[in-house]
Amino acid sequence: MTEVMIAVVLLGLGTYSTRRAGVALGGSVTTGPRAALAEWVLDHAVIALLVAVALSTAVFDGHQFGGWARPLGVACALTAAWLRAPLVLSVLLGAGVTALARLAGLT
């Protein structure tokens, strides 16, 4: 368990470092001569990351396919959000459909 706690502390330090490094780098990028391009890239990178994290956590458990229930629920949530449903409704719909799908026997 000692090893695990060392890993926990290192994960905390490492994670803070990634954030702080980004903040430091961003200062120079967003004010330089190519600021407009940097802003375009950053805006799109943020969206790409959010969507990629959402989709891979929706579909996979680690490397394996995580069953149909969760992707189904998340697809409903995203459809609701696309149709401009309030955020709370979309998220609850995602959890609710997933739970119901599992109740109905979908893994």
Partner 1 sequence: MASLWTSVPAELRRAVLLVTLAVALVGVAYGVTATANQFAVWQILVLAVLVLAGSAELLFVGLIGAGASPWLALGASLLLNLRNVVYGMACSPLLPAGWRRWAGAHLVNDETVALAAAPSGDRPAELPPRTLAQRWATFLVSGIGVAVGWPFGALIGATLGQVVPEPELWGLDAVLPALLGALAMPAVRNGSTFAVAVLAAAIALVVTPVVPLGVAPIAGLAALVVLLLARRPGGGDQQGGDQQGGIAGAGA
Residue 32 in the binding site for partner 1 (CB under 8 A): no
Residue 33 in the binding site for partner 1 (CB under 8 A): no
Rounded Cα gap, residues 13 and 77, in angstroms: 34
Residue 60 in the binding site for partner 1 (CB under 8 A): yes
Residue 8 in the binding site for partner 1 (CB under 8 A): yes
Residue 49 in the binding site for partner 1 (CB under 8 A): yes
Question: 60 pairs with which residues across the strands?
Answer: 65
Question: With contacts defined by CB under 8 A, how many residues of the chain interact with partner 1?
Answer: 77
Residue 104 in the binding site for partner 1 (CB under 8 A): no
Residues 5-44: b if buried by 16+ CB within 10 A, e if exposed: eeeeeeeeeeeeeeeeeeeeeeeeeeeeeeeeebeeeeee
As measured in angstroms, the least distance from the Cβ of 61 to partner 1 is: 8
